[in-house]
Amino acid sequence: MNKFKFIKQLLDNEKFNTSQKDRVLRLVSRELGSSSKRDDQVLSDIINIKKKIGFDDVRSEGEKPINVFELLDEEKKEKIDNKKSISPDLTWPEAFKQNTLGEYMVDMRETQKRKSFAEQYKKAKINITKDNISLEFPKLNNAPSLVKLMNQFSDNSKALKYTTHSWEYGKFQSFEEFTIKIKEEWNEISKELTMLNPRLSAKISNFLFNNKLGEKKDEKYYHVWGEKRLKFGWASKSLELYMKNSENDPFSFTIPENIKSLDTKHNLLLFDQYVSEFKNEIEIREDNSALVNLINFLWTSELGYDFNLIQQDTEGVSFFTDVPYLKSVIKIVFGSFKKRPQFPNIICRIEENFEENYVELSITQLESKCTRSINDPKILKPKGGDLSTIIENLKNLADFSVIGEFKDEQVYRVNYLTSNREFKHLDKKGENYLCHGFTYLLKFYL
């Protein structure tokens, strides 16, 4: 029984005389004083944990302590009871999960015999959804950090830049010095890049440092890199021998015949062409209209000319990403559009924001609507299917959302991947919001 209900029953008991009730009140007063101290200790412990796990908004000494509900959601402090539940806006940071704050608070309850905060937290954890919205979305992304690492491939002060750009004679004393420098710079970023996106990291590492490219792993498979499974790179032995002469230009190196025969369908004759293939896999480049060409290719190969596609502001766009995975995402989007041929008009549009360092690609099927309920788990928290695949393919490469009109004739934006922890999972738009059709939003950072 709740202790306050127990106290109320004692005071309401007609068999208690006045002196007995006075004694109860004195005992209650003493207990509340002790309880208050324990509450203060609980809150102090919570604040210390909050500091350790990286929450930014920790109150200074003397301010009102942060309560459990603020830990769950700084924006919405809702009273939790048996009929209500928390409506979380943000995915909890990974450190929050790893530090198992829930277990800590439950242990604290058992050892100190305190139930108020722990029981409310436990209720919140059990009843953690509202309208079927789970705390697992939106997933916190770290695309800006990945791009910061990738920007070393365009930084004039970094040797890594010159793995994709030619350099003037004398830039490096020798090819050996160049390879040592790129190895040092790669070692500085590779661990973090691997944590953010192991696929992209492995591709780069293979092209730069795998000296077994073109050799057989086993009876069936070769050592390769990239979407086209190419078999030559910066660490290839024949290139190293060629560069013993410091006057030679690595980009002008003629590919050996055995590698040409292995990569014959790609017709790559010079090392410069392999470098271009690598650049096209890690960056959408404006100098070759990469985004325009990619969209047009997928339009013809996936949709066909029964669909009308317009591109807006897609020319002259450049950003780092894993291009084959972007290609796979657009392919999935076009595949979903193809299932609804009654809406044949599609717009692919780029919005650039250089103040906030991002470009956002929106892909809209005009006049189309989603026939599912907004509360459908396949929409809100997909665990399989196309949305789940897109989320996995864009992890730490781009933020990902959809926006459209749903079964209830209301317009919602659903955020799946975000690099901004202030973003809500579900954002219901107002009546005046103009929705031109179901839209996929991909935000890339610069």
Note whether 415 and 138 are within 8 A (CB). Answer: yes
Burial of residue 269 (number of CB atoms within 10 Å: 0-12, 13-18, 19+): exposed
pLDDT recorded at residue 190: 97
Query: How far, CA to CA in Å, does 286 sit from each of 279, 280, 377, 437?
Result: 12, 11, 39, 28
One digit per residue, the tens of pLDDT, for the chain of length 446 reads 556 666 666 666 665 666 666 676 667 666 665 555 555 665 566 555 545 444 444 444 444 444 333 433 343 333 333 333 333 333 333 333 333 333 323 333 333 433 443 444 344 333 333 444 444 889 999 999 999 999 999 999 999 999 999 988 788 999 999 999 999 999 999 999 999 999 999 999 999 999 999 999 988 899 999 999 999 999 999 999 999 998 899 999 999 999 999 999 999 999 999 999 999 999 999 999 999 999 999 999 999 989 999 999 999 999 999 999 999 999 999 999 999 999 999 999 999 999 999 999 999 999 999 999 999 999 999 998 999 999 999 999 999 999 999 999 999 999 999 998 888 999 999 988 999 999 999 999 99
285-445: CATH topology is Heat Shock Protein 90 (3.30.565)
CB 397 within 8 A of CB 444: yes
Task: Report whether 139 contacts 92 (CB < 8 A).
Answer: no
Alpha helices, DSSP H, located in 316-359: 323-338
**Domain map of the chain by residue range?**
1-31, 137-283, 285-445
C-beta of residue 443 within 8 angstroms of C-beta of residue 374? no
Sign of the CA dihedral 199, 200, 206, 209? negative
Q: How far apart are CA 53 and CA 98, in angstroms?
A: 9
Instruction: Give SS3 for 373.
Output: coil
User: In whole angstroms, what is the distance from residue 251 CA to residue 248 CA?
Assistant: 9
Q: What is the pLDDT of residue 235?
A: 98
Q: What is the pLDDT of residue 43?
A: 59
137 CB neighbour count, 10 Å cutoff: 22
Stretch (H or E) spanning 394 = helix 385-394
The gap between the terminal CA atoms of the chain, to the nearest Å, is: 57
**What angle (nearest 5°) sits at the alpha carbon of residue 221, between those of residues 219 and 226?**
170
Name the nearest CA neighbour of 118 among 130, 129, 104.
104
Name the pairing type of β-strands 437-445 and 358-366: antiparallel
Alpha-carbon gap, residue 343 to 337, rounded angstroms: 8
**In this structure, what token pair is assigned to residue 28?**
């209650």
